Amino acid sequence: MDEDRNNLSEEELRLRKRQQERRIKRKREKEKKRRRNRIILIVLAMAVILLLVFGIASCASSCVSRSEKNQQGLNNNATEATQVATVANIATQPTQAVQQTSNTIKDNGKDGYETDSGIYIWDNKAFEQFYGTEDMAKTYANAITHYRQQLDSSINVYNLVVPTHIAFGLPDRLKSAVSSNNQQDYLNSVFSTYGSDIKSVNIYDTMDQHKTEYEFFNTDHHWTADGSYYAYEQFCKVAGETPVDKSSLTSKEINGFVGSLYTATNVEALKNNPDTVKYYDMGETYTMYLMQQGSTEFTELDNMYYEDAAAGSETYGVFIWGDNPVTKIVNADSKNGKKILVIKESYGNAFVPWLVNNYDEVHAIDFRHYDGNVVSYCKDNGITDVLFLNGVMSSASSFQIDSMSSLFA
């Protein structure tokens, strides 16, 4: 789990407290609704009994023929039974499976629940809830604006914020059951705050279009390689690049990944339904360099993936060898003169490999581990493009923003 979980500001703590209060209030309202429905059913049942008693009394005093009376009673009973059945159906309908469409998350008709750690569990999947506000969105956008102003004006600057699984992975019936804030509104606030000198890569609609696919892991808070590919396609649209055809690449898989959301919850259903980590071979024309923690020198590696990553909680580390201060990938076949620097946290790890298809050099700095200066790094390495790529949780964390700002001090 990223470091921002253990470094919440007072504002974020107050926000989560308010979210908890709203969840308690919502549960109480649901309980009141259930009691109200039970009362309605009891009243209807009593009304049926009274109608039957009235019918019998009328039968004794009426001069209508017995055959006509019997027919009328049958008609009344049929009508009343239909009314009771209709009310009962309305009362129980929320637990029924709903009709699916091609781009709708399949609803198994079961309810989810929230763990003590604030993780929402449904259908053997874990969802990290989001508590970011409009003010947090603007704070992040203003920080990106500040970084842009310090970089050379000739550098193209892009900003991509990755939503979390909960924005896409639940059926419509359950969306009101979670306390997670609206991430689409949050992202719109981010992208509408700064000027045109920063190019926004808004991937929300793209991820929503592919939400029935395996975009995010179910036991971990990260996205899959396929999920990051759809974001890469959107980046290429904004940057005027041609994305590599994913179907032309060879893929490999590591099974048995049980990630951070299982670690945070210890829910047995997650452990029993592990994820699969897929990664794609980009060819043999690149060279990988890694600057590890505590070093100022690059080490040359023969692969951009840590293929010895084993099943377990650390399998996501297969992508660019995990979280390191600096990663550099040189594409020997590319001579277009473009070099990109990705300033990122761990969401960037699955995304970075795609860029080797479009740039001579791909550099990645993890702002949580690098203690150098980004402006100097760009000058020393001839960087032409800078992409800020962070998960939405990091963008709403003052601690993470402060860590990133230290790169520009």
Per the structure, the count of domains in the chain is 2
As given in the structure block, the two tokens for residue 156 are 């193209």
Sign of CA dihedral 220, 223, 225, 226: positive
Q: Could you tell me if 295 and 390 lie in one domain? A: yes
Query: Of 80, 96, 112, which residue constitutes the final position of a domain?
Result: 96
Q: Could you tell me if 393 and 279 lie in one domain? A: yes
Q: Could you tell me if 199 and 70 lie in one domain? A: no
As given in the structure block, the two tokens for residue 20 are 């908890």
Is 48 a residue whose pLDDT tops 80? Answer: no
| CA pair distance 390, 343, nearest whole angstrom | 8
What is the percent of the chain where pLDDT is above 70? 75
Please check whether residue 399 lies inside any domain of the structure: yes
Cα→Cα distances 27→101, 177, 310, Å: 29, 9, 41
Please check whether residue 101 lies inside any domain of the structure: no
The residues near 119 (Cβ < 8 Å, ≥ 6 apart) are 126, 127, 128, 129, 261, 264, 265
Is 16 a residue whose pLDDT tops 60? Answer: no
- Number of neighbouring beta carbons within 10 Å of residue 388: 24
Q: Could you tell me if 55 and 131 lie in one domain? A: no
- Number of neighbouring beta carbons within 10 Å of residue 33: 10
Please check whether residue 107 lies inside any domain of the structure: no
**Confidence band of 82 (pLDDT split at 50, 70, 90):** very low
Is 134 a residue whose pLDDT tops 60? Answer: yes
pLDDT of res. 26? 55
pLDDT of res. 294? 85
pLDDT of res. 96? 38
Q: Could you tell me if 148 and 44 lie in one domain? A: no
**Confidence band of 9 (pLDDT split at 50, 70, 90):** low
Q: Could you tell me if 191 and 326 lie in one domain? A: yes
Q: Could you tell me if 243 and 139 lie in one domain? A: yes
Q: Could you tell me if 150 and 92 lie in one domain? A: no
pLDDT of res. 78? 35
Domain limits at 79?
A: 10-96
Q: Could you tell me if 241 and 312 lie in one domain? A: yes
Please check whether residue 3 lies inside any domain of the structure: no
* 121 vs 71: which has the higher pLDDT: 121
Half-sphere exposure of 41 (CA within 13 A, CB side): 14
| CA pair distance 232, 212, nearest whole angstrom | 18
Please check whether residue 377 lies inside any domain of the structure: yes
Sign of CA dihedral 275, 366, 328, 355: positive
Closest CA to 269 of 211, 232, 218: 218
Q: Could you tell me if 280 and 339 lie in one domain? A: yes
Q: Could you tell me if 166 and 92 lie in one domain? A: no
Please check whether residue 115 lies inside any domain of the structure: no
Is 69 a residue whose pLDDT tops 70? Answer: no
331 sits in which H/E element: strand 326-331
Please check whether residue 5 lies inside any domain of the structure: no
Q: Could you tell me if 321 and 289 lie in one domain? A: yes
Orientation of helix 10-61 relative to helix 66-92, angle to 10°: 170
pLDDT of res. 272? 98
Question: Which ranges of 151-252 would DSSP assign to H, the alpha helix?
Answer: 172-175, 183-191, 204-209, 225-239
Please check whether residue 216 lies inside any domain of the structure: yes
Sign of CA dihedral 291, 293, 295, 301: negative
Cα→Cα distances 393→205, 260, 264, 314, 400, Å: 18, 14, 16, 20, 9
